[in-house]
Amino acid sequence: MSNTLLVELLTEELPPRSLQSLGNAFAQEITKTLVAQGFVPDTAEAAVHATPRRLAVVLPGVLSRQPDRLVERRGPARLAGLKADGTPTPALNGFARSCGVTVDQLQMGLDAKGQEIYLFRQMEPGKTLEQALPALLSDVLPKLPVAKVMRWGSGDAQFVRPVHGLVVLHGTQVLPVELLGLTSGNTTLGHRFLSKGPVRILEAASYEEVMEQTGHVLTCLERRRQRIGEALEKAAGACRLQQDDTLLDEVTALVEWPMVYAGSFPEDFLVVPQECLILSMKQHQKYFPLLDDEGRLTSRFLVVSNVDANDATAIVTGNERVLKARLSDARFFFEQDRKVPLAQRVMRLEQVVYHNRLGSMGLRVKRLETLSAQIARRLNLDEEKARRAAHLMKADLVTDMVGEFPELQGIMGKYYALHDGESPDIAQAMEEHYHPRFAQDTLPESLLGSALALADKLDTLAGIFGIGQSPTGDRDPFGLRRAALGIIRILVETPLPLNLPELLTLAVDGFSPALPDGDPRSRIEDFILERMRGYLKERQYTSDEIESVLNPAPVRLDQVLARAEAVRRFARLPEAVQLSAANKRIRNLLKKSLPEGLEKRKSVLDATLLQDPAERSLHEVMQELQPLVADHLERLDPVSALQLLARLRDPVDRFFTDVMVLCDDEALRSNRLALLGQLEALMNGVADISRLGG
Residue 179 bridge partners (DSSP): 182
User: Of 283, 300, 332, which residue constitutes the final position of a domain?
Assistant: 332
pLDDT of residue 693: 61
Establish if 381 belongs to a structural domain. yes
- Contact (Cβ atoms closer than 8 angstroms) between residue 463 and residue 454: no
3-state secondary structure 478-520: CCHHHHHHHHHHHHHHCCCCCCHHHHHHHHHHCCCCCCCCCCC
Residue 655, domain CATH: 1.10.730.10
Relative orientation angle of helices 424-432 and 447-466, to the nearest 10 degrees: 40
pLDDT of residue 114: 82
**Is the domain of 381 the same as that of 398?**
yes
Establish if 556 belongs to a structural domain. no
How many helices and strands, by DSSP H and E, does the chain display? 26, 20
**Is the domain of 366 the same as that of 488?**
yes
If one counts every other C-beta atom within 10 angstroms of the C-beta of residue 324, the result is 13
Q: Of 42, 1, 40, 8, whose CA–CA distance to 23 is shortest? A: 8
**Is the domain of 437 the same as that of 375?**
yes
In one-letter notation, the amino acid at residue 432 is E
- Contact (Cβ atoms closer than 8 angstroms) between residue 651 and residue 675: no
User: Of 170, 189, 213, which residue constitutes the final position of a domain?
Assistant: 213
User: Of 272, 299, 332, which residue constitutes the final position of a domain?
Assistant: 332
Q: Is the peptide bond before 552 cis (omega within 30 degrees of 0)?
A: yes
Would you say residue 472 has pLDDT above 90? no
**Is the domain of 208 the same as that of 79?**
no
Average pLDDT, the chain: 92
**Is the domain of 375 the same as that of 306?**
no
Q: Of 683, 650, 679, 671, whose CA–CA distance to 580 is shortest? A: 683
pLDDT of residue 484: 97
487: left (phi over 0), alpha (psi -120 to 50) or beta: alpha
- Contact (Cβ atoms closer than 8 angstroms) between residue 14 and residue 184: no
Residue 5 bridge partners (DSSP): 59, 170
Establish if 550 belongs to a structural domain. no
Mean pLDDT for 168-181 is 95
Q: How many CA atoms does the CB half-sphere of 223 hold within 13 Å?
A: 14
Q: What does R_g of the chain's alpha carbons equal in angstroms?
A: 36
Residue 96's domain spans which residues? 69-124
Distance between start and end Cα atoms, the chain: 55
**Distance of alpha carbon 210 from alpha carbon 204, whole angstroms:** 10
Lowest mean pLDDT among 420-429, 490-499, 566-575: 566-575
* pLDDT band of 252, cuts 50, 70, 90: very high
Mean pLDDT for 236-248 is 91
**Distance of alpha carbon 26 from alpha carbon 57, whole angstroms:** 7
Establish if 495 belongs to a structural domain. yes
Mean pLDDT for 551-564 is 91
If one counts every other C-beta atom within 10 angstroms of the C-beta of residue 167, the result is 25
Helix (H, G, I), strand (E, B) or coil at 446: coil
pLDDT of residue 594: 66
**Distance of alpha carbon 265 from alpha carbon 325, whole angstroms:** 10
Establish if 547 belongs to a structural domain. no
pLDDT of residue 597: 47
**Is the domain of 355 the same as that of 481?**
yes
Establish if 555 belongs to a structural domain. no
pLDDT of residue 550: 93
pLDDT of residue 598: 47
**Is the domain of 399 the same as that of 472?**
yes
- Contact (Cβ atoms closer than 8 angstroms) between residue 639 and residue 566: yes
Helix (H, G, I), strand (E, B) or coil at 366: helix
Mean pLDDT for 453-466 is 97
Give tens-digit pLDDT for 189-236.
999 999 989 999 999 999 999 999 999 999 999 999 999 999 999 999
Establish if 234 belongs to a structural domain. yes
User: Residue 601 CA to chain centroid, in angstroms?
Assistant: 44
Would you say residue 694 has pLDDT above 60? no
DSSP one-letter string for 67-81: PPEEEEEEEEEHHHH
Would you say residue 115 has pLDDT above 50? yes
pTM of the entire predicted model? 0.79
**Is the domain of 188 the same as that of 209?**
yes
Mean pLDDT for 452-462 is 98
* pLDDT band of 109, cuts 50, 70, 90: confident
**Distance of alpha carbon 462 from alpha carbon 518, whole angstroms:** 11
If one counts every other C-beta atom within 10 angstroms of the C-beta of residue 316, the result is 17
Would you say residue 141 has pLDDT above 50? yes
Strand locations in 272-355 (E)? 288-291, 297-305, 353-355
**Is the domain of 118 the same as that of 136?**
no
pLDDT of residue 330: 94
Number of domains into which the chain is organized: 5
Establish if 372 belongs to a structural domain. yes
- Contact (Cβ atoms closer than 8 angstroms) between residue 420 and residue 341: yes
* pLDDT band of 662, cuts 50, 70, 90: confident
Mean pLDDT for 384-408 is 96
Determine phi and psi for 567, rounding to 5 degrees: -65, -40
Would you say residue 448 has pLDDT above 80? yes
Give tens-digit pLDDT for 42-71.
999 999 999 999 999 999 999 999 888 777
**Is the domain of 59 the same as that of 179?**
yes
Would you say residue 641 has pLDDT above 80? yes
Strand locations in 401-454 (E)? none
Cβ partners under 8 Å of residue 419, min gap 6: 338
CB-based burial label for 484 (10 Å; 0-12, 13-18, 19+): buried
Cβ partners under 8 Å of residue 159, min gap 6: 9, 11, 141, 146, 149, 150, 180
In one-letter notation, the amino acid at residue 280 is S
Would you say residue 551 has pLDDT above 90? no
**Is the domain of 35 the same as that of 96?**
no
Q: Of 175, 190, 338, 330, whose CA–CA distance to 256 is shortest? A: 190
- Contact (Cβ atoms closer than 8 angstroms) between residue 480 and residue 461: yes
Lowest mean pLDDT among 89-98, 518-527, 572-581: 572-581
Would you say residue 454 has pLDDT above 90? yes
Higher-confidence position of 675 and 506: 506
CA dihedral 516, 522, 526, 531 (to 10 degrees): 60
Residue 413, domain CATH: 1.10.3210
**Is the domain of 144 the same as that of 118?**
no
